[in-house]
Amino acid sequence: MTDDRPAQTIDDAAAPLAPHHAAPRGWLDRLGLLGRGALIGAAEVVPGVSGGTIALIVGVYETLIRSAGHLVRAAVTLVGSLLGRVDRGRSRHHAREVRWDAVLPIGIGMLLAVLAGAAVLEPLLEEYPVQLRALFAGLIVASLAVPARMVGGRWTLREVGVAGLAAAAAFFLTSIPPAAEQDPSALVVFGAAAIAICALVLPGISGSFLLLTLGLYQPTLAAVNDRDLAYLGIFVLGAIFGLSVFVSGLQWLLEHRHRVTLVVMTGLMAGSLRALWPWQDEDRGLLPPGESVGAVVGLFAVGVAIVLALMLVEHRIQARAAAPQHRAPEDATT
């Protein structure tokens, strides 16, 4: 009997993945994934903070990217099978490769955080922008260690240059003055969502920041708070389109150009810090330090401490999860 399943690609077989890819063992692990999703969702509501960066920090980034890639391919091959051009088994194969046990709790956490963040963070950002930017800057500065460490080994001069170019690009993008708020058309909402969703899979770039630049941040928050299903439906369709176009390319880069991709991510994160300089004018011009210097320094330190604590916890979780793998051969022989 022949196996009619699609041949496993190198990237599927390679998945010798880090411990955070392991299946959740109980409700505590699932609650942990829910909490990680909530952190990512909260970041997506805050202009200047990248959900992809938070996903890197909490150790679920590659899980989400791989699963998103398989989900997109499952949808594409399903359409192809309905048209009679592709074997339906390929769609089932990709659907099985999605880490549903991780993706579902993370997705639920993200949704809950977006709903809560839209109601809570909007007034805080309006009343305490300087202080919150300082906190977020501390988060991002400390999180630079995540992709930089994942690169591994000493950086070459060329890699430093690539990171510098990526940082310059992010610096430029985050200096663009915000567009005027407007009543957007369906096509504009669709296109903005397709662009902004890229931030979820690209550390260093904030989806909310891109929406702010396009003049759609306040309308989108209002749609979430008002449960404007027509607006949100168009936004979701645009996000799905953006994922289908962008995530497959990024997944390929992570699997075939892993080192240089992480170098670029590090540069993007570093350059995006420009958006989080605490003192700015309404057009994102940088101002010298002014009010609340002490509070700014303190909150920056708190942000750094939060990320370092998360990294320490993640390291311990990985060490604990890896331990049984070393004992497994001994158990098998007894």
Report DSSP letters for 65-88, one per residue: HHHHHHHHHHHHHHHHHHTTSS-H
- For residues 71 and 51, give the distance between their C-alpha atoms in angstroms, rounded to a whole number: 19
Q: CB 91: neighbour CB atoms within 10 A?
A: 21
- Please report whether residue 333 resides in a domain: no
Burial environment of residue 15 by CB neighbours within 10 A (0 to 12, 13 to 18, 19 or more)? middle
- What is the SS3 assignment for 176? coil
Band (pLDDT 50/70/90 cuts) for residue 157 is very high
Band (pLDDT 50/70/90 cuts) for residue 301 is very high
Task: Give pLDDT, residue 20.
Answer: 43
- Please report whether residue 2 resides in a domain: no
Task: Give pLDDT, residue 46.
Answer: 75
On the question of pLDDT at 134 being above 50, the answer is: yes
Structure tokens of 55?
């996903």
- For residues 12 and 154, give the distance between their C-alpha atoms in angstroms, rounded to a whole number: 28
Q: Tokens 């109601």 — which residue?
A: 119
- Please report whether residue 86 resides in a domain: yes
Q: CB 293: neighbour CB atoms within 10 A?
A: 13
Q: Give the count of domains, the chain.
A: 1
- Please report whether residue 11 resides in a domain: no
Task: Give pLDDT, residue 314.
Answer: 65
- Please report whether residue 283 resides in a domain: no
The DSSP symbol for 272 reads G
- Please report whether residue 207 resides in a domain: yes
Task: Give pLDDT, residue 195.
Answer: 82
- For residues 260 and 267, give the distance between their C-alpha atoms in angstroms, rounded to a whole number: 11
How confident is the model over 32-70, as pLDDT tens digits?
889 888 988 887 887 667 787 788 777 788 788 788 778
Rounded mean pLDDT, 267-272: 84
Task: Give pLDDT, residue 181.
Answer: 56
- Please report whether residue 140 resides in a domain: yes
- Do 190 and 80 touch, CB atoms closer than 8 A? no
In angstroms, the Cα distances linking 186 to 192, 229, 234, 239, 329 are 10, 12, 7, 13, 58
On the question of pLDDT at 297 being above 90, the answer is: yes
On the question of pLDDT at 28 being above 90, the answer is: no
Taking every pair of Cα atoms in the chain, the longest distance, rounded to a whole number of angstroms, is 75
Range of the domain at 305: 23-278+292-320
Q: CB 78: neighbour CB atoms within 10 A?
A: 17
On the question of pLDDT at 228 being above 60, the answer is: yes
- Please report whether residue 108 resides in a domain: yes
- For residues 323 and 39, give the distance between their C-alpha atoms in angstroms, rounded to a whole number: 27
